[in-house]
Chains A and B, each alone.
Chain A
Amino acid sequence: MTPERYQRLGQLFGAALELAPDQRPAFLDQVCGRAAGDDEGLRAAVEKLLASHLASETFLGRSAIDVAAALFAQNQASLLGQTVSHYQILSLLGAGGMGEVYLAEDTQLKRRVALKILHAELTNQREPLQRFEQEARAASALNHPNILTIYEIGETNGLQFIATEYVGGETLRDRLQSAPLPISETLDITMQVVAALEAAHQAGFVHRDVKPENVIVRQDGLAKLVDFGIAKLTERRLEDLEAEGATRTLIKTSPGTVLGTVAYMPPEQVRGQTVDARTDEWSLGAMLYEMLTGRLPFTGNTVNDTIAAILKTEPEPPTSFNSEIPAELERIVLKTLRKNPEERYQHSKSLLIDLRDLKEDLDFGAKLKRTRTQDNVEVLLASEQATGAQLPQMNAPNLIHTTSSAEYFVSEIKQHRRGVLLVLTILLLTIGAAYLGYYRYFRAASGSPIDSIAVVPFVNQSGDAAVEYLQDGLTDSLIISLSRLPQLRVMARSTVFRYKGREIDPQTVGRELGVRTVLTGRILQRGDTLLVSAELVNVADGTQLWGEQYSRPTADLLAVQQQIVREISSHLQFRLSGAQQRQLNKGGTSDNEAYRLYLSARYSWNKRTADDINRSIEQFQQAIDRDPNYALAYVGLADCYLVQGTYAGTPTTEVMPKAEAALEQALRLDETISEAHATKGFVHIYSLEWDQAEKEFQRAIALNPNYATAHHWYSEYFRIRRRFSEQAREIKRAQELDPLSPSMGANLGRAYLNLGDTDAAIRECKRALELNPKFSLAHHFLGLTYVEQHRYDEAIAEFQQAVDSSKRADLFVAGLGVGYAAAGRRAEALTMIRELEEKYSKKEATGFDLALVYAALANDDEAIAWLEKDFAGHNMSGLIYVASTIIHPRLRNDPRYQDLLQRMHLKL
């Protein structure tokens, strides 16, 4: 065909199309008839074109890139069911610019992983690939519960892949689309992401792509930041991120549909300038803004407009879209979104601290809202009327101050005496609604309330070892007393005592422990006189908030303590009523020696070995001998008996009556000590009285939310009842209160193991072992986790260490037996059984221990028989875990096992 002929063809085709179909033959007759030569050919060609036109209306209707994408999608779909390396691909989870993410099963370790397969086109480029690997490997070293763990980076048949832990959950994007997030949940998620960023920034990484698509939120609220390291596959510039597909926030515009992750980029990133930790902070701020308001802080109809907004305009205050947003939160969000990085938070840690403070204020406010009763209002009003127009004095004994915020209102009002009564009435009646205003005013008036403190062991300046008990005693009693203050988070003893004898910088310690204030002091004994100096340091700026020196007779140690506590508490902005003042000294003793014995006993108890527990029992008993009204010492005694079952294998039937008797005595002396109720909760557990147990733990926590052991045992309760998310929640709280306790760490690991997150379990157990390399329980849990991962050699090594450092305690011998059995080393497992049987005969092992090993050896008959033996003898210390420590998955279906669970009122 020639161009001329094509043109002629086109003219006729076009003209014919203008006509109604029934007129076209006549038209063609006419035009083709006039021409000479190839008329018939031309006519046929036009008719063919007309026919083609009819069929081609949708032809080329989809753009080429769409067509190509469909081709590509076919390829991707074809990966399903295939095996890449040792990963069998199960389903597609999502896709982005760098590749697709599949759910896969690791056929070797039999665990589910998320498998990210990189686009072949990208893997052909050597340089980005190397950079990617380098970065991903480095990021894989980041070890943080809120950062997705990378298992493997590999290549097979030209496919480059990364296997990571699989977090069953949805992205924050999905979450945001399904329903608006409550503020508390928003804060929870945000704080976790900030914690992840903080860890990354510490390690020198910048994520560069923080956005809702890169945050996975699990059912239990755990949030993980993903795509670490991948951020640097190519130098992540604006356009790269923009091309990230599944990740865009599509905003319908005309003429095109544009916009994407640019919305989360700060000015410096949009400009292609240097990015650093503060870049991530902005992105986080934009994400937080969106979580709070349902919209992005900077938007535009086009990318250009959005960028212009990012560069030039100030975001609308979040409260203009959601009036429930607290002012402090608005301040935080807007601070993260400052154009100039210098004006943002300079460290993610500071941001985290502000968020955490806010969260605690909110929780406090919510509690206030819930618990504020009409009674209190009436008390205040009544006293108001009684004194005429006079305001009640702050320390008037008849005034019950239940909250610091109520105090605050009162003190505010004091400054404006006119119309006070009216204002007071309105304020108190609307107090529930007013709690938001609380921190606006509160913060404006007096800066941030102090809500956390670490009491660092006082330095013994006399160098006299005999004074050492005073040193520990003062510190410890300050901790105990302060922890009874409402809304004050006090670092637990085992955490702060790590600083004992070290020359410390209060600011450094404060930052390490994440508290706002640090209390330090010195003690000097001169003859019968005791010189105590104490100072309270504000961690934020190192300033002294309060400082005092006391010179007293040595015998007055307790009086000094109480005075320090009172003075500190007033500086912590808690004004206490007489009742609360009394609360500070609850369960205590006025006998110095009894107190010293108590502290020493607690210390031994915390070590949890059979010998230490025996020593602890002796010391508690001696404390009681000195002061028979010392309630806490009785609780301590009960605690010792309780854990003997677990750590010494003593039958429950032997220890329980003793524990119950001691506890009863404690409660008779003081019914309102948290410790006693926590212990009572555990007693109920041993009696299989689940509901009562839960009530006691709740009571214990209500009485003193800072009692770490109450949270720890409450988590055990949840573990036993297979409520693993709650188990994790409580043990996390316990760990927050007592971050340096290996026991909390190991149990957190156990919680993760129960949740199926073996990597997190390993991480936490290892952390616990960093705190105390000989902590048997951590070795034991680590061993169990390795068994779960089929890493038997490592499991056996851990079990062995648990056995060695516990002097062969029964539970750990059983663990080793399980390890041998799992590894197929039957003879050695049987040796463990013999050892346990011998221990059992000496009442140093439980039937549960034996059942564990027998079940691992597939001897179900023996396993069941031993469990029944425990049940019949009411020997509960191991048996209570029968549902949560699945002795062997096979047993789940064994009717005898099911029957036992039923009798224990447990279920799977």
Chain B
Amino acid sequence: MQSATPPNITQLLIAWNQGDQDALEQLTPLVYRELHRLAHRYLAGERQGHMLQTTALVNEAFVRLIDWQGVEWQDRAHFFGVSAILMRHILVQFARERQAAKREGLHVSLSAAAGIGTQHDPDLVALDDALITLEKLDPRQARIVELRFFGGLSLEEAAEVVRVSVSTVRRDWRMAQAWLHQQLNAAT
């Protein structure tokens, strides 16, 4: 009974960030598992109405994925940055698959799942599209949304990654939030 050496998540993340698609295949199940864990909390009624606990979630998902025995992340900001991109990639893909599945009628109507999630949750796919537009208009704001929303970072952590002041991040976030909300509401 022997367990293989753990994959070095640090290296996987870096490899993926440098365009290695195999690395993504190894990372995806890890994120999915986290997803299921959270889903269970919904089903158990534990997460109703909970607001984002900034770093908690993504830290949970990633802090424990990094290679403990290996090198410490010298550059926290870099790690958070790459994680956020990864989360966006995987989660949007996930939402896209769900939508496709729903269109094909594979799953039961939402009425069966009443009470789970909220009406105000954004459509991840539409948000991703809007973010692509925003990247062209204000790349830093788009990056901050990515870090905050997908990466789960706090204002302070996002500031550290983007290397601007916290008040700048707060202003950018406010603006992006209002604009994206408007975009998404206009679309529906």
Give residues in A with beta carbon < 8 Å to B: 1-3, 6-7, 10, 13-14, 17, 48-50, 52-53, 55-56, 58-78, 80-82, 92, 94-100, 119, 121-122, 125, 204-206, 208, 234-240, 242-246, 255-258, 260, 262, 269-272, 274-276, 302-304, 307
Contact = CB atoms under 8 A, between A and B. Distances in A.
Interface of B: 1-7, 9, 28-44, 47, 50-61, 63-65, 68-69, 87-88, 91, 94-95, 98, 107-110, 112-113, 116-118, 120-122, 124, 136-138, 141, 145, 148-150, 152, 154, 171, 174-175, 177-182, 185
A468 to B, nearest CB: 48
26 contacts: A14-B175, A48-B182, A56-B177, A60-B177, A61-B52, A64-B124, A64-B150, A67-B121, A69-B36, A70-B39, A73-B40, A74-B110, A74-B113, A76-B40, A77-B116, A78-B112, A82-B108, A119-B32, A239-B65, A243-B34, A243-B64, A246-B37, A256-B55, A272-B5, A272-B6, A304-B68
Contact of A245 (B38, B63, B154, B179): B38
Nearest to A245: B37
Contacts of A82: 108
A100 B55 contact: no
Contacts of B179: 6, 49, 52
A76 B138 contact: no
A561 B54 CA distance: 78
Given A239-B30, A274-B2, A59 B120 contact: yes
A256 B60 contact: yes
A119 B36 contact: yes
Contacts of A243: 30, 33-34, 37, 61, 64-65
A225 to B, nearest CB: 16
B121 A73 contact: no
B108 A235 contact: no
A122 B56 CA distance: 25
B109 to A, nearest CB: 8
Contacts of A100: 36, 40, 43
A67 B29 contact: no
Contacts of A76: 39-40, 43
B113 to A, nearest CB: 4
Given A55-B181, A66-B38, A76-B43, A1 B137 contact: yes
Contact of A70 (B2, B31, B121, B136): B121
Nearest to B42: A73
A60 B175 CA distance: 12
A77 B91 CA distance: 20
B82 to A, nearest CB: 15
Closest 8 CB pairs of A and B: A245-B37, A70-B117, A69-B38, A95-B40, A74-B113, A256-B59, A56-B181, A73-B42
Contacts of B4: 235, 237, 272
A72 B35 contact: yes
A69 B46 CA distance: 12
A52 B185 contact: yes
A245 B32 CA distance: 11
A122 B145 CA distance: 30
Contacts of A48: 182
A258 B59 contact: yes
Given A56-B181, A70-B42, A97-B33, A307 B124 contact: no
A62 B54 CA distance: 9
Given A235-B3, A239-B9, A72 B36 contact: yes
Q: Which of B40, B54, B113, B150 has the most chain A CB atoms closer than 10 A to its own CB?
A: B40
B51 to A, nearest CB: 5
A258 B62 CA distance: 10
Contacts of B32: 119, 121-122
Given A70-B116, A271-B69, A65 B152 contact: yes
Contact of B136 (A3, A17, A67, A244): A3
A807 to B, nearest CB: 50
Nearest to A236: B3
Contacts of B28: 121
Nearest to A101: B40
A6 B94 contact: no
B181 A52 contact: yes
Contacts of A271: 69
A98 B32 CA distance: 10
Given A59-B181, A236-B3, A304-B68, A246 B94 contact: no
A444 to B, nearest CB: 37
Nearest to B134: A6
Contacts of B42: 69-70, 73
Contacts of B41: 69, 245
